[in-house]
Amino acid sequence: MKLLNKTNIYFLSVSLIIFTVGGILFYLLFQITIDNGINKKLHERKEYNLKQIARSDSLMLLFQQYTDALSIKPVKEISAAKETLSDTLIYDSVDGQFIQYRQLSFSKQVKGRNYFIQVRRAVLDHTSLLKDVFILEALLFLAFITVLTLVNNQVSKKIWKPFYYILDKIHTYKIDLAQSMTLPKSSVDEFNELSEAIEKMSTKINNEFNILKEFTENASHEIQTPLAIIKNKLEILLQSPAMTKDQMDLISSASAVTNRLSKLNEALIILSKIENRQFHEIEDISVNDSVDEILLSMDELIKIKSISVEKHFHEFLHIKMHPYLAEILLENLVINAIKHNTSPGSISITTRHDSLEIANSGSHSFGNAERLFQRFVKSNPKSQSLGLGLSIVKAICDTYSFTVVYSIENGYHKIIVAFPH
């Protein structure tokens, strides 16, 4: 979830809580104010009606005077109870419904006569007004939240623009190109501090990358040279006529180890260069033609192991990548299918418009397929391979965002490489 959306959610949640609590308090205070106002008016009417009764003809008081706002009844004795406030419903024949009234009931002696008097005031209009005010407040709140959210989004986008620019620069940053990351200044101090920290970090990374690159290149040259000398000396010793069989076996063993060390050094250097993104050239590569050339170069080994090869080139597959890496990728896949095959065995190669599938027969199964692409991991521990072939394949696929998947189906080891358009 984006920071802006998360901020808006917190803001809306807090606003909703404040509005709900504030609305309830407003409703209660408004209700108390209305009740106090009605009660005050009832007491005012009480005093007014008592004065009117005192001034009127006493014969008029013998009749029960009853209206919605006033009820006067002559009584024999005055009740000891004090005046009371209560709510009641009175039917309105005009509107055809009951209307709520607040009434003040009390007893009073006027001109020697006892009366039970009730003064009323309708409260329906006040309740309706309260509901209308509450609805209006809710609509105003929604309008306020909507406008504030829109304004907050626009303002936040403007404020956070430098941050997204920095993020974009980090995404497009390529260490292998030794780019100097220069970021613009912002009016926000925190973004300026972030820019300075990233610039310092990128400078340090570039320096360390260059040191590592120089070390890799130097190691490649310095190690290969003595290895070549050792191999040459061992070959000369093998040609010596004075060598015994045991000595020749020892020299042959040392020569084999030297060859293995040379291949290991070369594979690790290639892997390091791939991971450091040191291959930039891009060409259009025909996978079908490249596979045919690799199979032709491996023809002798394929015949020795009695392996049958079936090609299912449904479509011509073209990919865009560095030609040297394309050669390594396809060659390692084919060599892997040959080395880890049975004798006799079979290989099936299938190309589609966006994928390459290589399946080979084999007797060994590998539990965790993901570990097969790690360095020095072999499907058969007794194998003489370096365990780097599929690691190099995975590194190349990661460089170009290809997807490589290993599986076993019906006794066949299958590797599928999917190439995005």
Q: What is the pLDDT of residues 253-311, one digit of tens each?
A: 888 778 777 777 777 777 777 766 667 778 888 999 999 999 998 888 899 999 999 99
Determine the pLDDT at residue 289.
92
More confident residue, 208 or 293: 293
Q: Which of 61-70, 119-128, 233-242 has the highest mean pLDDT?
A: 233-242
Long-range pairs, 173-180, Cβ under 8 A, ≥24:
173/202, 174/277, 175/205, 175/206, 175/209, 175/276, 175/277, 176/209, 176/276, 176/277, 176/278, 176/280, 177/280, 178/206, 178/209, 178/210, 179/206, 180/206
pTM listed for this prediction: 0.47
Determine the pLDDT at residue 348.
92
Q: Note the pLDDT tens digit of each residue in 127-154.
A: 667 677 778 878 888 888 888 888 878 8
Order the strands of the 412-418 sheet from edge to edge. 307-313, 345-351, 355-361, 412-418, 403-409
Cα-based angle 309, 326, 338 (whole degrees, multiple of 5)? 30
Mean pLDDT value across residues 40-63? 66
Q: How much of the chain, in percent, has pLDDT values that exceed 70? A: 82
307-313/345-351 β-pairing: parallel
Q: How much of the chain, in percent, has pLDDT values that exceed 90? A: 7
Q: Note the pLDDT tens digit of each residue in 384-413.
A: 554 566 888 888 888 888 888 888 888 788
* Beta-bridge partners for 72: 65, 117
Mean pLDDT value across residues 97-110? 79
Determine the pLDDT at residue 369.
56
pLDDT at 314 over 50: yes
* DSSP annotation of 372: G
Determine the pLDDT at residue 366.
56
pLDDT at 59 over 70: no
Determine the pLDDT at residue 64.
42
Instruction: Kindly report the average pLDDT of the chain as a whole number.
Output: 78
pLDDT band at 226 (very low <50, low <70, confident <90, very high): confident
Determine the pLDDT at residue 60.
46
Q: Note the pLDDT tens digit of each residue in 162-192.
A: 888 888 888 877 776 666 677 878 888 888 8
Euclidean distance between CA atoms 171 and 336, whole angstroms? 34
More confident residue, 340 or 80: 340
More confident residue, 286 or 118: 286
pLDDT at 56 over 80: no
